[in-house]
Amino acid sequence: MPTRLSNYFLRTLREDPSDAEVTSHRLLVRAGYIRRQAPGVFAWLPIGLRVKAKIEKVVREEMAAAGAHEVHFPALLPREPYEVSGRWAEYGDALFRLQDRKGSDMLLAPTHEEVFTLLVKDLYNSYKDLPLSIYQIQDKYRDEARPRAGLLRGREFTMKDAYSFDYTDAGLDASYEAQRDAYERIFTRLGLEYVIVKADAGAMGGSRSEEFLHPTPVGEDTFVRSAGGYAANVEAFTTLVPEALSWDGLPPAQVFPTPDTPTIQTLVDSANRNQPRPDGRDWTAADTLKNVVLALTGLDGSRELVVVGLPGDRDVDLKRVEVAFAPAEVEAANDEDFAKHPGLVKGYIGPWSADGAVLGETSATGIRYLLDPRVVDGTEWITGANEHGHHVYGLVAGRDFQADGTVEAAEVLAGDPAPDGSGPVELARGMEIGHVFQLGRKYAEALGLKVLDENGKLVTVTMGSYGIGVTRILAIIAELTSDEKGLVWPPAVAPFDVHVIATGRDQVVFDTAESVVAAIEATGREVLYDDRPKVSPGVKFGDAELIGVPQIVIVGRGAADGVVELWDRRTGERTSLPVAEVASRLP
């Protein structure tokens, strides 16, 4: 039976909703696919649900092909497993927390590693049961600081999350590859361009991790890639460390007065004016060592200062810093922090002073000092002399100062060398549409998931987790394929295969339309039939364009002569056909 528009739960809007800015959100609301319920939370109307189901179908088929079995967990879960894994604390404000009537803490799950692990623990205890891959398609909840862009970043979103269980590292690799391959097939079938990039393993622990990013300037992730094939999220980018240099023959460091040079630029100007280089080249920001004071707040609320030293031509990248110091929260040190450390002279901070080391755990201040990996032994720097209005020139790393370690805190710049030697990288933006992740034994260990191996020995299971954002993908497809008239679904995910319009008031129009609909349905296609009486042609055409079913059949003025039109939504091309041929001429 066709879906008849005369009594379908669908209302198109003539005007753009005022609270929708991005294309996908605007069109999905206007065309009657979704409605906003709360910030970042959406209701799915019948036609929207159909598209969602089409995407899920592709995902399910490829999951089955990869040997994964579907399950379904509740979104509402008790606190305990997340307490044991540490994520009750680590997730912070992004976790939706609530209490039941007895006052027990519960949560709306942001992902399900813990409960999948516990289920397997309940049921399995032998290596013979493994490997195992199970997945679900379920709504996830994250209380984003600022939900935006409609479905692209909501607080409730549908995700396919899969989990693999193995008892050997090689097994985990194989399970990981199977999911990774499935993802490639899924995105290819959906026609979504993607880049696979190295990702940060982050607070989840574990080793190998890759993100599938859809390249788009509006993406939230920045990634790098080299011509030689290296690709990584900037958060996971590692600096190619230069060789250490010898400091034999380098002149001793010298302090010069540098009044009014609180910034890198003023310092460089002052250096070129007052202490020109003997080799004739100008000083640049890259010759200076910038020392940035950061405040880390641990999960227990403790506050620690740390100073990061990096070349003056680079800023600290807060995302990379967050990764480097996770799970602590990072912010710039405030006036109060400086007040507690009079040894830090704002604007003139450096590791060295005439009276001894200023930065570092064993120094006068005792503040942890970490260096950008480029600051290798033997490199010379202009940096603060810890005295107002003074800098020290020719300060040599290794000879004149030491640090407590290195940190990947500096921003990545286009042209930086890829760590694998594959050449300079370029920067691009992308939106995460999938993530594959070797969790390793973190969750299994925390939750006690062990099996007996071939030797009768208890071994901890090793796991992987694999996510795809179903609703985000839907929004991206809508965004990519739409035009100024409305949505234009690719056939693989379209809510219907064919949209039949009956226009006119002669009974022959409706009779013809009915037979056309029946003929098309007989070919196995799904039909949306606009049978609304007393609705003018312009309205029906406009709605068809807005709704975006790929093939439209117009039954109208030619009906009396047995002629209808086939209208391709994407190309706009219209072809007149005899009624009898329509079903067979559909692509």
Among 536, 578, 580, 584, which residue sits at the site for RNA (rule: CB under 7 A)? 536
Rg (CA), the chain: 31
Minimum separation from the CB atom of position 115 to RNA (A) = 18
- 264 DSSP 8-state letter: H
Question: What are the E-state strand segments in 237-361?
Answer: 254-257, 289-297, 303-311, 329-332
DSSP H or E segment with residue 234: none
Which one of residues 472, 494, 499, 531 is an interface residue with RNA (CB under 7 A)?
472
Tokens at residue 491, please?
Answer: 């056939």
Counting contacts by CB under 7 A, is residue 295 touching RNA?
no
Residue 573 as a binder of RNA (CB under 7 A): the answer is no
H helical segments located in 419-577: 442-447, 470-481, 507-521, 537-547
Letter for the amino acid at 233?
A: N
Q: Which one of 546, 579, 582, 583 is in contact with RNA (CB under 7 A)?
A: 546
Q: What are phi and psi of 201, to 5 degrees?
A: -70, -30
Sole window of 58-66, 95-103, 143-151, 163-171 interacting with RNA (rule: CB under 7 A): 143-151
- What is the helix (H) or strand (E) element at residue 88, kind and residue range? helix 87-90
545 interacts with RNA by CB under 7 A? yes
Of 543, 540, 534, residue with least CA distance to 13:
543
C-beta closer to RNA: residue 48 or 154: 154
The two tokens of residue 9 are 């739960």
Among positions 102, 146, 217, 456, the unique one binding RNA when judged by CB under 7 A: 146
Closest CA to 135 of 158, 169, 106, 107: 158
- Shortest distance, position 238 Cβ to RNA, whole Å: 18
> In the complex, what is the shortest distance from the CB of residue 383 to RNA, in angstroms, rounded to a whole number?
25
- Length of the chain as a residue count: 587
State which residue, 311 or 504, has the beta carbon closest to RNA.
Answer: 504
By CB under 7 A, is residue 322 in contact with RNA? yes
Shortest spacing between CB 155 and RNA, in angstroms: 7
Q: Tell me if residue 498 falls in helix, strand or coil.
A: strand
Q: Which two tokens stand for residue 472?
A: 């985000």
**What residue spans of 484-533 are helical by DSSP H?**
507-521
Among 4, 8, 17, 181, binds RNA (CB under 7 A): 17
Which phi and psi angles does 567 have, rounded to 5°? -125, 120
Task: Identify which of residues 395 and 582 has a Cβ nearer to RNA in the complex.
Answer: 582
Q: Is 561 a binder of RNA (CB under 7 A)? A: no
Site size toward RNA (CB under 7 A) is: 66
Quick check: 373 binds RNA (CB under 7 A)?
A: no
Does 539 bind RNA (CB under 7 A)? Our answer is yes
Residue 40 or 312: the one with the smaller Cβ distance to RNA is: 40
**Residue 318 sits in the site that holds RNA (CB under 7 A):** yes
- Window of 179-187, 306-314, 384-392, 501-509 that interacts with RNA by CB under 7 A: 501-509
Q: Is 74 helix (H, G, I), strand (E, B) or coil?
A: coil
Least separation in angstroms between CB 559 and RNA: 7
Which range of residues in 145-153, 283-291, 292-300, 395-403 is near RNA by CB under 7 A?
145-153
Regarding 534 and contact with RNA (CB under 7 A), the answer is yes
Query: Is residue 555 exposed (0-12), middle (13-18) or buried (19+ Cβ within 10 Å)?
Result: buried
Q: Which is closer to RNA, CB of 182 or CB of 546?
A: 546
DSSP character at residue 196: E
**In this chain, which of 28, 34, 108, 149 binds RNA, going by CB under 7 A?**
149
Task: Provide the token pair at 123.
Answer: 């049921």
Q: Which run of H or of E encompasses 96?
A: strand 96-99
Neighbours of 1 (CB within 10 A): 8
CB closer to RNA, 45 vs 449: 45
Give 411 or 521: the residue with its C-beta nearer to RNA: 411
Strand partners, 54: none
Binding site for RNA (CB under 7 A): 12-22, 25, 36, 38-40, 94, 142, 144-150, 152-154, 157, 159, 211, 220, 318-319, 322, 432, 435, 467, 469, 471-472, 485, 503-505, 533-539, 541-543, 545-546, 554-558, 564-565, 567, 574
